Structure formats: structure tokens, C-alpha cells
């Protein structure tokens, strides 16, 4: 059975890929993924970019669902969303296998 890719089936992959294509966001995601959950202040230190840059990019990553932002009082943490990244990689593999036996 051959599956044809339509814009609807490709959209989840293209949206996430577009978000991850930015080098700063990819670096932030790598830091978050290694820690699984990290305070935003520590993320700023490790990413070596300004707090406003981190804030901007984590908002985009959170909108895409690859991280979540946890607010506890005045403190914010970001958490790597493993399930969402698994879905993304599953979609990529599925695209690669389309049309192959």
C-alpha cells in the first residue's frame, strides 16, 4: 500500500522542522533535552545568549509542543516533551518509508 503525502500529512513535520531549523532554538532544545527539565536562569547561562533571546525562543518551542514551560511562583522551568519529539521523528521515518516495501 502506497501512501501519498499531502500538505495535510506533511504539515506536522514541516511545522516542527521549521521551528527546529533555527540554530539558537536547536541549541536550547539540546540543553533542555540533556537536562530533561531546567530552570530558565540556568538555561540562559548555558546557552550564552540574553534572557530575552531565551524567552523568545522557548515561547516558540513551547507553541510547537516540543517543550513545556512550568511556572512556580516567580520561577520558570522548561521541560523537554519526549512524546512530542517521538511523534516528530515517527513522522520523519514514515515519510522516508513511503513507497518502500
How high is the pLDDT of residue 43?
A: 96
pLDDT per residue as tens digits for the range 39-97: 999 999 999 999 999 999 999 999 999 999 999 999 999 999 999 888 888 888 877 77
Backbone angles phi, psi at 22, to 5 degrees: -75, 125
Partner residues linked to 68 by β-bridges = 79
The domains of the chain are located at 7-95
CA distance linking residue 38 with residue 51, whole number of Å: 14
CATH number belonging to the domain at 7-95, selected among 1.20.1070.10, 1.10.10.10, 3.40.50.300, 3.50.40.10: 1.10.10.10
pLDDT band at 2 (very low <50, low <70, confident <90, very high): very low
Q: Report the mean per-residue pLDDT for the chain.
A: 87
Q: Is the pTM of this model over 0.95?
A: no
Amino acid at each position: 500500500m502506497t501512501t501519498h503525502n499531502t500538505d495535510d500529512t506533511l504539515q506536522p513535520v514541516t511545522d516542527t522542522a521549521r521551528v527546529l531549523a533555527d540554530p539558537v532554538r536547536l541549541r536550547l532544545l539540546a540543553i533542555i533535552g540533556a537536562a530533561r527539565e531546567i530552570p530558565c536562569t540556568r538555561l540562559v547561562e548555558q546557552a550564552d545568549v540574553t534572557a530575552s533571546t531565551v524567552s523568545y525562543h522557548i515561547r516558540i518551542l513551547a507553541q510547537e509542543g516540543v517543550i513545556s514551560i512550568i511556572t512556580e511562583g516567580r520561577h520558570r522551568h522548561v521541560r523537554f516533551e519526549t512524546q512530542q519529539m517521538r511523534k516528530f521523528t515517527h513522522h520523519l521515518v514514515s515519510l522516508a518509508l513511503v513507497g518502500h516495501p
